[in-house]
Amino acid sequence: MLTSLQKRLLNDYQQAFPLSSRPFRDIAEQLGVAEHDVLTALRELSDRQMISRIGPVIAPNLIGSSSLVAMAIPDDDLERVAGLVSRYAEINHNYERENRFNLWFVAVGDNDEHLQSVITDIERQTGYPAMRLPMLADYFINLGFDLNLP
């Protein structure tokens, strides 16, 4: 069960996170609670794995370099490889798909050389080749969810 503060944090700040030097204080002021309460609620949501990170979503390749990557992993090794891939700070959106290429993730780097070195290291660490799928067309998908629905 979510507290009313947790629900407000999840619902109201998915896309309207304050851009300031003290965003959690700003949120607290907007919600009429203490900054400590906001931080505690967010920590609890993180501990419950209801949020994985707080940070910006930047358009692909606007800053640095990014690529969708797919790998074909035997089913009996998928969990190990996915766990290894997830340990890289440069990886997000790591997920399984029902396909021969069953492990997909987005890799980001400071530049194309950094990105390629991460992908190459993942191949070396896992023992499986990775297929880099650079973006050809940009599509925006709003991933916000209205938690105020009945």
Let me know: does 38 contact 5? Beta carbons within 8 Å: yes
**Residue 144 within any structural domain of the chain:** no
The C-alpha atoms of residue 33 and residue 38 are separated, in whole angstroms, by 7
Residue-level pLDDT, tens digit, the chain, 150 residues = 899 999 999 999 988 889 999 999 999 999 999 999 999 999 999 999 888 888 776 666 667 888 999 999 999 999 999 999 999 999 988 899 999 999 999 999 999 999 999 999 999 999 999 999 987 877 767 777 787 755
**Domain encompassing residue 103:** 65-133
Neighbouring residues of 10: CB distance < 8 A, sequence distance ≥ 6: 2, 45, 50, 51, 147
In total, how many domains does the chain have? Answer: 2
In the chain, what is the straight-line distance between the N-terminal and C-terminal CA atoms, in Å? 15
**Residue 148 within any structural domain of the chain:** no
Compute CA 131 distance to the chain's CA centroid, rounded to the nearest angstrom.
20
Let me know: does 92 contact 105? Beta carbons within 8 Å: yes
